[in-house]
Structure 1
Amino acid sequence: MEQTVGAKLLLLWVICCGHGRVGGLSGYTKVIEVTNGGPWGDWAWPEMCPDGFFSSGFSIKVEPPQGIQGDDTALNGIRLHCAGGNAELNTHVVESQSGRWGVWSEPLWCPDGSFLVAFSLRVEPPMTPGDNTAANNVRFRCSDGTELEGPGQTWGDFGNWSEPCPKGLCGLQIKIERPRGLRDDTAVNDVRFFCCLS
C-alpha cells in the first residue's frame, strides 16, 4: 500500500513540476515497483532516458564482500543503458543516486534489439543483530523473454517480478541510505522504473 501511494505521489509531482532532468519526466506511462525493497534510506531524484531512447541494457555498482570484520553494502548503484537505434553505437547512460562503495560492472544487453521490460530485486531482510546489506542484486526480463542477472552479491532472495512495461523501461529512481560513518551501511535499498510512453 505504501509503495502504491508513493508511486501516485511521484506521478503527481512529475505532472506538476518534474521536467528538469534528462529527457524530462513526461515521457512515460506508469511506474513499476516490487514489494521486497529494503526499509532504509530515501528516494533520490529520478533520471530518464532521452526522448526516443529505451533501455536495452544495464550495469550495476557492487561492493565485494568485506569479510567478517567488515561492513558489507553489496548493491550501490544501477545504470540503465538507453539505446536509440543500434544499441552498441548510439547509447546514453542514466543513473539515479549511487553509493560510494564498489565498482561498476560491464553492461549486460538484451539480444537482437530487444529491450528491458520487467525486473526483480534480490534483497536481504533486516538482521538484528547483524550486518545489513538490503538490496544485493537485480535481474531484468527483456522483451524477447531473455532474463539478465547482474553480477551482484548472493545474500537474501529475489522477490517477485514487477509488472511488465509493454514498451520498455525509460527511467529509474533509487532508494538509497546515505553513509552512516562507523555504523552499519546498506547503500541501495529499493528501485522503481518508469515505463516508456512510445
Structure 2
Amino acid sequence: MKIGYARVSTTGQDYETQLTKLKAEGCEEIFSEKQSGKSAENREQLQAALKYARKGDVLVITKLDRLARSMGDLWAIVRNLESKGVGFKVLDQAGMDTTTPTGKLMFNILGSIAEFERDLINARTAEGRQAAKAKGVKFGRKEKLTSEQVEALQADVKAGILSMQAIGDKYGIARNSVYRLAGSKDAAYEPIG
C-alpha cells in the first residue's frame, strides 16, 4: 500500500498540490499537516503515518523537504521505515525510491545536497545579520518607551508615590516591565505605602 504524507509550514500555505500528486500516485491513505519541519517528533501526522506503515508499504512524499529539514531527521525516518520493511519514495525527485538500489543512491546524494544548500542559506543569513548589526540596525521589537520616558519612569519609581501597577498603566507597559526598567530584581515584590 502507498501511504502519502503532505506538509506545509504555515497556515497561510496550502498543500492541495501535494495532495493531488499523492492521490495521482495511488496513495490509499494520506496524512497531512500544517507544521514546522524542524523536528520530526513534534509532527503528529508524520508520527501517525510512520506508525500506520506496515511491511511492504511505501511512504510517498512530493518533495524531500516536506519530510525532514536535516540529514539527521531524514536518516532517522528512513532507517525507521527500512527496519519495518517500508519503502520511501519522493515524487518530485525522479528516481528517488528506496525500494530500488538506484533510488537509495539518489536518496543519499540529494539528501546531502539539500543539507548543504540549507547550511549555505543559514551561513549567508548569519553574515547578513552581522553586517546589519555592524551598520547599527537593531533587530527585535521596537522599544515602547524613549530614553526620556524611561528616566521619568525611574523618577516615578524613586518618588514612591504611585504603585508599580499605576506607573505601568501611566506608561502603557506591564508592571513587570516597570520593575525591569527600574532595575528591581524582584518583580513580585511591591512596597506597601
TM-score interval w.r.t. the shorter chain?
A: under 0.3
Which TM-score applies when normalising by structure 2? 0.24
Which TM-score applies when normalising by structure 1? 0.24
Q: Which has the higher contact order (CA 8 A, sep 6+)?
A: 1
Name whichever structure is richer in strand by fraction: 1
Compare CA radii of gyration and give the structure with the larger one. 2
